[in-house]
Amino acid sequence: MACEEAELGSDKFNYVIAVIVRVDTNILTATGDADQLNKANFETGASVLTVEHMQDVVRRRVSPLF
Structural domain including 24 reads 2-61
Q: Is residue 20 part of a domain?
A: yes
Q: Is residue 56 part of a domain?
A: yes
What does the pLDDT profile of the chain (66 residues) look like in tens digits? 678 778 888 888 888 888 888 888 888 787 777 777 667 666 655 567 777 887 787 777 665 654
Q: Is residue 11 part of a domain?
A: yes
* Three-state helix/strand/coil letters over the chain: CHHHHHHHCHHHHHHHHHHHHHHHHHHHHHHHHHHHHHHCCCCCCCCCCCHHHHHHHHHHHCCCCC
Q: Is residue 43 part of a domain?
A: yes
Q: Is residue 16 part of a domain?
A: yes
Instruction: Identify the pLDDT of residue 1.
Output: 67
Instruction: Identify the pLDDT of residue 30.
Output: 79
Q: Is residue 38 part of a domain?
A: yes
Q: Is residue 66 part of a domain?
A: no
Domain count, the chain: 1
